[in-house]
Amino acid sequence: MELPPRPTLFDFHGVPMIEIFTANWDSIQNFKARPDDILIATYPKAGTTWVSYILDLLYFGQTCPDRHMSIPIHERVPFLEISIPSQPSGKDLADHLPTAPRLIKTHLPVQFVPKSFWEQNCRIVYVGRNAKDNTVSFFHFARMSNFQPEPGDWSTFLQRFMEGNSERNKLIQNSTTCSTEDLIEDFGREFNSLCFFLGLSPSAEEKERVATGVMFDNMKQNKMTNYSTVKTMNQDVSPFMRKDPLNFT
């Protein structure tokens, strides 16, 4: 498979972006959110996949158990703004999700989130991460993902990261906030907090099922969560899921 050249960052209304996030811009901005949609808003590599899988198992682990071993996580929880040639756009995947609620993820900064999410008063789960771990994870992801700008060496990437010359996100209203560090420190406490925000009361058995399913080693071995089905990611360069020391993606 011949891969396209790496993209370059450019200024988009004051925010560094790449073309796969802006090519479908008008369509993204006109996205029709529903009142029960849940938006997972994160900085890239801040714990997006982990929290996406937690919520996916929480909502659909019992009613649709086969989907977790047959449908990739990026189809179950579409990446709203992504638009890659010859592949379904994130918006199209979100539009056609058969589940209720729809779980949708985004790395857009608050000013770019489609207005329908505010109009429909959708719930938003914002995921943060220690900046040091986030930077390391993002660097290795940029090394292995052909749809990321060339990262250069570590010192160059780190300087660019500290200057803010990468995709950005901000805390947004009507949301709950969690962090990968807090989830690792006390998963039960943070899981209960998420459930409270979402208005859910899972049984002890359901909590255990989710906690087991989202363990790092289980997710790393699951082809539906480790992104090994995505051919534009060269996991020989660096695995999508790394653990060094706090490195859920």
Distance CA 229, CA 157 (A): 27
107 is catalytic: yes
Q: Which two tokens stand for residue 72?
A: 């990739």
Query: Exactly one of 68, 74, 107, 140 is catalytic; which is it?
Result: 107
Length of the chain: 249
The backbone torsions φ and ψ at residue 133, rounded to the nearest 5 degrees and listed phi first, read -65, -40
Q: What is the DSSP string of 18-69?
A: -GGGTTTHHHHHT----TT-EEEEE-TTSSHHHHHHHHHHHHHTTTSGGGGG
Helices 48-60 and 187-198: crossing angle in degrees, nearest 10, is: 60
Contact 53, 213 (CB under 8 A): yes
Residue type at 87 in one-letter notation? Q
The residues carrying an active-site annotation are: 107
